[in-house]
Structure 1
Amino acid sequence: MSFDEEYTAYVSERLPWLRQIAYPLCEDWHRADDLVQAAITRLYVKWRRARAADNLDAYVRTILVRVFLAEQRTSWFSRVRLTAAPPASPSAEGDRDLAMDLRRALAAVPPRQRATLVLRFHCDLSVEQTAHTLRCSTGTVKSQTSRGLATLRSVLGVEDSRLPSMEER
C-alpha cells in the first residue's frame, strides 16, 4: 500500500471518531469539521513519523487538541465568533435535556479546562495521558480538571450529584 493510500485509509476510517472529539471542544459541528480538517492536514505532513507511532490514534488526538488550543490563542478566534446553534444530530439515547445543558455549560468553560475535561471524561484518558497530550504536568491536569468541573457545577447549578468528582476518576 502506498504512502497516500495508507493515509487515506486511516483518515477515512477515523474521521467520525475525530469529529466526535472535536465537537465537545468547540460546540459547533461546522467548526469541529474545520478543526478535523486542520488536524488531518497536519497529520498528512507528519504521516511518515505518525504511522510509526506506538499509538496512532493518540498521536492524532493530540494533534487535534493542539489545533484547537492554538486556534483559541490566535487573533482570528478573537475577531470571529460563531453563533451557537443546536447540534445537527441529537443524541440517540439518554437524557437529552441534560446533554444540552452540559453542552451549554461546557461552552462556558475556558478552552484549556474544556480540553482537559474532554480528554479526561469524553476520551477517557488518564491524568498522565492527558498531561502528555497537553504538554503539561499531571498537577496541571488535576487542577484544570477540578476548576473545569467547578465551573460546570456552577453554570449548571448542581452539587456533586450529577457530575463526576476527582475521586471518581
Structure 2
Amino acid sequence: MDRDTAFRAFVDAHQRPLTRLAYLLTGEVHLAEDLLQSVFVRMIGRWSRLGHVGDLDAYARKMMVNQYLSWRRRRSSHEVPSAEPPDRAYVSDDSAVLRIVLRQALMRLTPKQRAVLVLRFYEDRTECEVADLLGCSVGTVKSQAHHALARLRTLAPELGPRLPVLDDPAHSEGARR
C-alpha cells in the first residue's frame, strides 16, 4: 500500500472520533476543523517515518492535544479578561440545555483541565492513558480533574449531580479495566 493510500485509510477510519475530540477541546466547529487539519498535515509530512508507531490513533490524539495546548498558550496572550461573566440563560432539566451549559462551563476551564476532563470522562480513558497522552504524571491528571470538576460545579451548579465524583469507585483505575 503506497503512502497516500495508507494515510487516506487512516483518515477515513479515524476522522470522525478525532473531529469529536477536537470539537470538545476547542468548543468551536471551525477551530476544531482547523485543529484536525493541522494534525493531519503534520502527520502526512511524517507518514513515512511513522511505521514504527504501534497505535497511530493514540499518536494522532497526542498530537492533537499538544497542538491544542500550544494554540491556547499562544492565543491566551491576546485575550482580554472581562470583569463580569456573561449572564446565564434559564436552565431546565432538558438535556440539550444542559449540554450547552456544560460546553460553556468547559470553555471557561484552563486548556489542560479541559483536555483532562474530555480525555478522562468523555473518551473514558484511564488516568494512566490521559497522563501518557498529555505527557504528565498520573498525579497531575488526578489534581487537574479534581480542580476542573470543582470549577465546573462552581460555574454550573445545575450540573453538580451529573458530574463524576472522583472518590466514587466507578471512576477508579481498578474498576475501569
Category of TM-score, reference length = shorter chain: 0.7 to 0.9
1:165–1:19 CA distance, 2 compared to 1 (3 A): same
1:50 alignment counterpart: 50
The more displaced of 12-21 and 111-120 is 12-21
Q: CA deviation at 1:77?
A: 5.0
Report Cα offsets for 1:102-132 as digits up to 9, x if no partner: 1011011111100111110111110000001
User: What TM-score do the two structures reach when normalised by structure 1?
Assistant: 0.85
Matching of residues 72-83 of structure 1 within 5 Å: 72-74=72-74, 76=75, 78-79=77-78
User: What TM-score do the two structures reach when normalised by structure 2?
Assistant: 0.81
Counterparts of 2:79 and 2:154 in 1: how far apart (Å)? 27
Give identity over the alignment, percent.
Answer: 37
Matching of residues 18-29 of structure 1 within 5 Å: 18-29=18-29
Counterparts of 2:59 and 2:27 in 1: how far apart (Å)? 22
Could you tell me whether the CA contact under 8 Å between 2:39 and 2:64 is conserved in 1? yes
**Aligned CA-pair RMSD:** 1.9
Counterparts of 2:140 and 2:79 in 1: how far apart (Å)? 29
2:137 alignment counterpart: 137
Counterparts of 2:79 and 2:147 in 1: how far apart (Å)? 26
Aligned length: 156
Give ranges in structure 2 of 5+ residues lacking alignment: 81-93, 172-177
Structure 1 position 122 matched with structure 2 position 91: no
Counterparts of 1:159 and 1:9 in 2: how far apart (Å)? 39
1:97 alignment counterpart: 97
Q: CA deviation at 1:4?
A: 1.3
In our comparison, the structure showing a higher alpha carbon Rg is: 2
SS at match of 2:38: helix
2:109 alignment counterpart: 109
Letter in 1 for 2:154: S
SS at match of 2:125: coil
Higher relative contact order (CA 8 A, sep 6+): 1
2:90 alignment counterpart: none
Counterparts of 2:114 and 2:140 in 1: how far apart (Å)? 13
1:50–1:124 CA distance, 2 compared to 1 (3 A): farther
Q: CA deviation at 1:26?
A: 0.9
1:53–1:103 CA distance, 2 compared to 1 (3 A): same
Q: CA deviation at 1:79?
A: 3.0
Q: CA deviation at 1:55?
A: 1.7
Could you tell me whether the CA contact under 8 Å between 1:23 and 1:32 is conserved in 2? yes
1:89 alignment counterpart: none
